[in-house]
């Protein structure tokens, strides 16, 4: 058994780790999930500047992604609609209406011209690993220069954890990163292209919640036009929620029409006698015109799931950007240094006619030795000692090129390389300034290619979420049919009060037990019910219960006056002590009642009248006051029907 348990534990941990790292949670380093990263790798691999069928890209991506084509297609469409990774051609769906994209065979895509500028594909800088079958290589993670996790957002559910990162505005993210590099304070908040309003009071820098609303045009008091959508909502879903609220009788509208195309336009007409101001709060309360979204910035950092804030991610990327720029500059410096070395070798090889030394050599070894010996007098001019690779390079120079060698052109090339090396050395000493410059250049490039990306669409505002209970109409009839059933779906009988679906009620059964519960649709409470009311504190504080009960052992009558305070929902409470017989429950402040005593020999007074108001109010758990030490046969209450 221990072996089986250990096997299950091991397999579960491996499965959970796989789902968390390789499917649901994006990596902080490039902000992408594995399927998205593999799509981008494929697009870089097949990029020739021309559009390719999406179905073709999906098929090629399956070389790296060990899952079905449906998940790849969905991820590609979603990534293309982020506007910064993929250029699209054809119908990729409509984020406003919620219409899906066309089939992959009808639409085309290619890698965005700026994607290679913020996703580093250089294998000398980005680490590549074998794909799932070992036939090809794919990036483990891209070294991204921009905080992509914030730019595109992410949503995923893994084993025991989930992530919900809302997208941010491109310009604001770049500006925040620049401020971070300069040591200045910054704040950033989510932004989506569908617009809407958001309240970020409880956002907690990405790990709290936001309240999002649709934007209304209420200039016409008989018509509401929804011009912008809340976050995570499309026009179709919004109209459906309005229809459902109308059918449930929660909002009063005449019609709702949808004219959404490339911007939201939903028109709600109101019936006679109903005006805009009467409906707005109900729309927020009962439909998706207002939503509360909980957020958690969970990402994979150093192969572990970590919850981070938006500020922390910006700071991480600001620091990382300087490291990437340093690595790129050092890579370019090493490449240019080697190029300078080769240009110098070529110049000396031709100018000093070293190639003449190899004319009489018969073997490869003697040729190589002659070349190396020929460079010994010029060692001081070389970057490093001449290698076998250098010799091979020189020997492959065509004779035509030697005869037409342009010394001035060579010197110009050497000068250009030296100038660039000086610039690289200067930039290596000012990496922060280089990072700021890079971010500014990227902002300018995006402004030229996709200016819409830099505009803020979602308006930050301050408002409180509409409480459904505050706008619901108290128009449901709570009825009691006399047969023992109480509820809103009970037909016939007596209407006890008007309620809402969110109310709680207190009712007192015939036996003196009372209970507090949510408004029932149909509930058996027994025949005969003394009292029924809303159970909010304000209502109950005004209700004074007078309870008349009899001790079955002595037949003595007691009176108890009290109020109901605290309670536990759906639990029975008894006004009288255990074993007592409740004869009457009343909520009037004062009333008269006549007690009829049991007939006995030599007893002349057989009835006596009391006033309830003569007795003091006590606590709910206190015992009642005994009226007389005489056996009681019945009680007649003024204003009540019959004898008790």
Instruction: Indicate whether 198 pLDDT > 90.
Output: yes
Instruction: Indicate whether 641 pLDDT > 60.
Output: no
Cα 377 to the chain's mean position, in Å? 69
Q: What is the full DSSP assignment across 385-449?
A: ---HHHHHHHHTS-HHHHHT--HHHHHHHHHHHHHHHHHHHHHHT-HHHHHHHHHHHHHHHHHHH
Q: Which two tokens stand for residue 222?
A: 């008989």
What residues does 75 pair with on adjacent strands? none
Alpha-carbon separation of residue 346 from 263, 332, 359, 367, 569 (angstroms): 63, 21, 17, 16, 93
Q: Which pLDDT tens digit goes with each residue over 241-270?
A: 999 999 888 888 999 999 999 899 999 999
Q: Which residue has the higher pLDDT, 377 or 38?
A: 38
Q: Which pLDDT tens digit goes with each residue over 12-40?
A: 566 666 566 667 889 999 999 999 999 99
Q: Which two tokens stand for residue 230?
A: 């809340």
Alpha-carbon separation of residue 500 from 480, 493, 552 (angstroms): 16, 19, 41
- pLDDT attached to residue 584: 92
| Residues 6 or more apart whose Cβ sits within 8 Å of residue 586 | 530, 545, 546, 547, 548, 612, 637, 640
Instruction: Indicate whether 296 pLDDT > 60.
Output: yes
- The angle formed by the CA atoms of residues 362, 363 and 368, to the nearest 5 degrees, is 115
- pLDDT attached to residue 349: 78
Residue with tokens 């397999």: 11
Q: Which residue has the higher pLDDT, 21 or 503?
A: 503
- Mean per-residue pLDDT, 272-297: 90
Rounded Cα gap, residues 154 and 396, in angstroms: 53
Q: Which of 15, 56, 73, 106 is catalytic?
A: 106
Residue with tokens 């990327």: 317
- Mean per-residue pLDDT, 482-494: 87
In terms of Cβ atoms closer than 10 Å to its own Cβ (0-12, 13-18, 19+), residue 488 is middle
Q: Which pLDDT tens digit goes with each residue over 603-615?
A: 788 899 999 999 9
Q: What is the mean pLDDT of the chain?
A: 89
Tell me if residue 580 falls in helix, strand or coil. coil
Q: Tell me 313's DSSP state.
A: H
Cα 418 to the chain's mean position, in Å? 51
Q: Which residue has the higher pLDDT, 355 or 561?
A: 561
| Residues 6 or more apart whose Cβ sits within 8 Å of residue 611 | 590, 591, 592
Q: Which residue has the higher pLDDT, 89 or 538?
A: 89
- pLDDT attached to residue 239: 94
Q: Residue 570, by phi and psi: left (phi above 0), alpha (psi -120 to 50) or beta?
A: left
Query: How many other C-beta atoms are found inside a 10 Å radius of the C-beta of residue 489?
Result: 12
Is the CB of residue 616 less than 8 Å from the CB of residue 583?
Answer: no
- pLDDT attached to residue 529: 87
- Mean per-residue pLDDT, 43-51: 94
- Mean per-residue pLDDT, 394-422: 80
Rounded Cα gap, residues 437 and 329, in angstroms: 14
Nearest to 352 by CA among 395, 400, 401, 407: 407
Q: Which residue has the higher pLDDT, 94 or 471?
A: 94
- Mean per-residue pLDDT, 107-131: 93
Pairing, β 459-460 against β 197-199? parallel
What residues does 190 pair with on adjacent strands? 168
Rounded Cα gap, residues 236 and 27, in angstroms: 32
Instruction: Indicate whether 80 pLDDT > 70.
Output: yes
Q: Which two tokens stand for residue 140?
A: 């483990």
- Mean per-residue pLDDT, 138-157: 92
Q: 642 falls in which pLDDT band (50, 70, 90)? A: very low
Instruction: Indicate whether 286 pLDDT > 60.
Output: yes
- pLDDT attached to residue 376: 83
Rounded Cα gap, residues 121 and 125, in angstroms: 8
Q: Which pLDDT tens digit goes with each residue over 203-255?
A: 999 999 999 999 999 998 999 999 999 999 999 999 999 999 998 888 889 99
Is 64 in the active site?
Answer: no
- pLDDT attached to residue 540: 87
- pLDDT attached to residue 644: 43
Q: Which pLDDT tens digit goes with each residue over 559-568?
A: 999 999 888 8
- pLDDT attached to residue 643: 39
Q: Which pLDDT tens digit goes with each residue over 340-352?
A: 888 888 888 777 7
């Amino acid at each position: 058994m221990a072996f089986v348990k250990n096997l299950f534990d091991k397999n579960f941990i491996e499965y959970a780790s796989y789902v968390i790292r390789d499917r649901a949670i994006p990596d902080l380093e490039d902000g992408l999930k594995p399927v998205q990263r593999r799509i981008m790798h494929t697009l870089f691999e097949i990029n020739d500047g021309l559009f390719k069928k999406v179905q073709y890209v999906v098929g090629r991506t399956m070389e790296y992604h060990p899952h079905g084509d449906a998940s790849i297609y969905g991820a590609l469409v979603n990534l293309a609609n982020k506007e910064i990774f993929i250029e699209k051609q054809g119908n990729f769906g409509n984020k406003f209406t919620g219409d899906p994209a066309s089939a992959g065979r009808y639409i085309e895509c290619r890698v965005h011209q700026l994607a290679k500028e913020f996703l580093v594909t250089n294998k000398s800088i980005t680490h590549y690993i074998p794909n799932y079958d070992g036939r090809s290589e794919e990036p483990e993670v891209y070294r991204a220069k921009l905080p992509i996790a914030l730019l595109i957002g992410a949503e995923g559910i893994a084993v025991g954890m989930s992530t919900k990162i809302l997208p941010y505005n491109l310009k604001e993210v770049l500006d925040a990163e620049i401020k971070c590099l300069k040591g200045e304070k910054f704040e950033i908040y989510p932004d989506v292209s569908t617009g809407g309003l958001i309240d970020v009071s409880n956002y907690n820098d990405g790990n709290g919640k936001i309240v999002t609303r649709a934007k209304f045009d209420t200039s016409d008091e008989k018509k509401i036009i929804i011009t912008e959508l809340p976050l995570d909502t499309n026009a179709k879903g919004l109209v459906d929620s309005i229809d459902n609220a109308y059918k449930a009788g929660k909002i009063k509208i005449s019609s709702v029409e949808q004219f959404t195309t490339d911007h939201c336009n939903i028109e709600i007409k109101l019936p006679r006698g109903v005006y805009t101001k009467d409906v707005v709060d109900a729309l927020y309360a009962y439909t998706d015109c207002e939503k509360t979204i909980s957020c958690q910035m969970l990402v994979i950092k150093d192969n572990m799931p970590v919850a981070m804030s938006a500020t922390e991610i910006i700071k991480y990327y600001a620091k990382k950007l300087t490291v990437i720029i340093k690595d790129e500059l050092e890579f370019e410096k090493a490449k240019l240094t080697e190029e300078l070395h080769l240009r110098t070798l070529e110049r000396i090889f031709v100018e000093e006619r070293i190639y003449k030394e190899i004319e009489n050599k018969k073997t490869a070894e003697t040729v190589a030795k002659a070349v190396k010996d020929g460079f010994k007098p010029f060692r001081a001019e070389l970057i490093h000692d001449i290698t076998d690779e250098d010799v091979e390079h020189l020997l492959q120079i065509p004779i035509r090129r030697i005869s037409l060698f342009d010394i001035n052109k060579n010197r110009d090339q050497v000068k250009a390389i030296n100038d660039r090396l000086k610039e690289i050395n200067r930039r290596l000493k000012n990496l922060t300034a280089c990072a700021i410059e890079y971010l500014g250049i990227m902002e300018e490039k995006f402004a030229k290619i996709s200016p819409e990306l830099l505009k803020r669409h979602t308006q930050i505002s301050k408002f409180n979420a509409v409480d459904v209970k505050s706008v619901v109409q108290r128009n449901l009839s709570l009825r009691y049919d006399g047969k023992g059933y109480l509820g809103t779906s009970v037909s016939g009988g007596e209407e006890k009060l008007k309620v809402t679906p969110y109310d709680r009620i207190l009712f007192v059964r015939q036996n003196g037990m009372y209970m507090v519960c949510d408004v029932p649709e149909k509930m058996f409470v027994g025949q005969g019910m003394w009292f029924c009311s809303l159970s909010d504190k304000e209502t109950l504080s005004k209700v004074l219960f007078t309870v008349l009960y009899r001790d079955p052992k002595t037949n003595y009558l007691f009176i108890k006056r009290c109020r109901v305070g605290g309670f536990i929902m759906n639990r029975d409470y008894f006004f009288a002590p255990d074993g007592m017989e409740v004869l009457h429950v009343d909520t009037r402040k004062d009333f008269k009642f006549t007690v009829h005593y049991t007939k006995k020999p030599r007893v002349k007074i057989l009835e006596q009248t009391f006033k309830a108001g003569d007795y003091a109010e006590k606590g709910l758990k206190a015992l009642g006051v005994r009226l007389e030490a005489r056996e009681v046969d019945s009680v007649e209450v003024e204003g009540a029907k019959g004898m008790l």
